[in-house]
Amino acid sequence: MTEKNPGKIALALSLPVSVLLIIASYFGVFIENTYSRETLTLATQGIGQDIVNLFIISPLLLITSFLAYKKSKAAMLIWSGAIFYLIYSYAIYTFAIHFNSLFIVYCFILGLSFYSFMYFILSQIKEPVIDWDSSNIPIKTVSVFLIVIAILFYFLWLSEIIPALIKNEIPKSITENGLLTNPVHVLDLSVVLPGLLITAIFLSNKKSLGFLLAPAMLMFCILMSLAIDGMVIAMRMKGIESDVSLTIIFGFITLMSTIILVTFLKSIKKKE
């Protein structure tokens, strides 16, 4: 019986996603009128993230999907984190960026990324490629780190939202960028932060879904931190006031997430 290779599907899905990502990022960085309807701050942030997407995310997606096709277990897990990052990022692009010539491209990237991640989860639940029971994974370290990240961002966002609600005002991050609501608040409070906590709980209880989602969440933290650093650097280059401490904080998150992810992946043993 022929052994199934989920990496083959990952590669097939990654090719169109990467092409669309390169197109969207190229237009964002090099075509001036792409963000012409946005505020200067939001447009600059978009360019900063597009640079990261063009030069880091798209190559990472292609490399990890190819290695997954070659049956690398670690590459498959890293790939899932990159895909989750794209779901998050392009949900923001589709809802926060004014309608432009790339709208359909944004939608296709979001859709393909979402169903790619669903395929990853379903395929691994049905036929896991890793024997988690025989892996010496630092469960407590990973779980505590994910919980700390979730609590940190709950505090960060709620410290902006709750005072605004009490004063019957609109948060500064919304008014400055000309938004109806902040999609980062929406996605973090409703999906990402609860997801980090659930992953930590599942992992600490040695549930297979926790083992599966933990590396994806760590990779997401790494890539999102890099994207935010890219936004901050782009803003400073444009002379826009930005909080330098954010670069330090997210740089630290990137470093810690990378160390923990590498430790996690090194501890994985192939299923017998």
User: Where in the sequence is the domain holding 160, given as residue range(s)?
Assistant: 6-266
Q: How far are the Cα atoms of 138, 159, 258 from residue 262, in angstroms, in the given order? A: 11, 33, 6
CA angle at residue 61 from 223 to 124, to 5 degrees?
A: 95
Q: What is the pLDDT of residues 14-39, one digit of tens each?
A: 999 999 999 999 999 999 999 999 99
Question: What are the φ and ψ backbone dihedral angles of 141, each rounded to 5 degrees?
Answer: -60, -50
Structure tokens at 38: 């946005």
In a domain, 1, yes or no: no
Question: What are the φ and ψ backbone dihedral angles of 270, each rounded to 5 degrees?
Answer: -65, 145
Q: How far apart are CA 110 and CA 86, in angstroms?
A: 7
Identify the three-state secondary structure at position 239. Answer: coil
In a domain, 271, yes or no: no
3 pLDDT more than 70: no
- For position 130, what pLDDT does the model report? 67
Question: What are the φ and ψ backbone dihedral angles of 123, each rounded to 5 degrees?
Answer: -65, -35
Q: What is the pLDDT of residues 60-95, one digit of tens each?
A: 999 999 999 999 989 999 999 999 999 999 999 999
In a domain, 140, yes or no: yes
Q: How far apart are CA 227 and CA 157, in angstroms?
A: 18
In a domain, 104, yes or no: yes
137 pLDDT more than 90: no
237 neighbors 51 (Cβ within 8 angstroms): no
In order, the DSSP letters of 141-194 are HHHHHHHHHHHHHHHHHHHHHHHHHHTT---HHHHTTT-SS-HHHHHIIIIIHH
Residue 30, burial from CB neighbour count under 10 angstroms (0-12, 13-18, 19+): exposed
In a domain, 151, yes or no: yes
In order, the DSSP letters of 1-26 are -PPP-HHHHHHHHHHHHHHHHHHHHH
199 neighbors 63 (Cβ within 8 angstroms): no
Query: Beta partners for 130?
Result: 270
For the CA atoms of the chain, what is the radius of gyration? 19
Structure tokens at 81: 């984190």
In a domain, 112, yes or no: yes
How many domains does the chain divide into? 1
221 neighbors 199 (Cβ within 8 angstroms): no
Identify the weakest region by mean pLDDT among 84-88, 168-172, 184-188, 237-241: 237-241
**Tokens 């590396």 belong to which residue?**
215
CA atoms within 13 A on the CB side of 240: 16
Q: What's the chain's average pLDDT?
A: 92
Identify the three-state secondary structure at position 130. Answer: strand
Identify the weakest region by mean pLDDT among 16-30, 123-137, 218-232: 123-137
In a domain, 165, yes or no: yes
In a domain, 62, yes or no: yes
CA angle at residue 72 from 62 to 191, to 5 degrees?
A: 65
Q: What is the pLDDT of residues 90-113, one digit of tens each?
A: 999 999 999 999 999 999 999 999
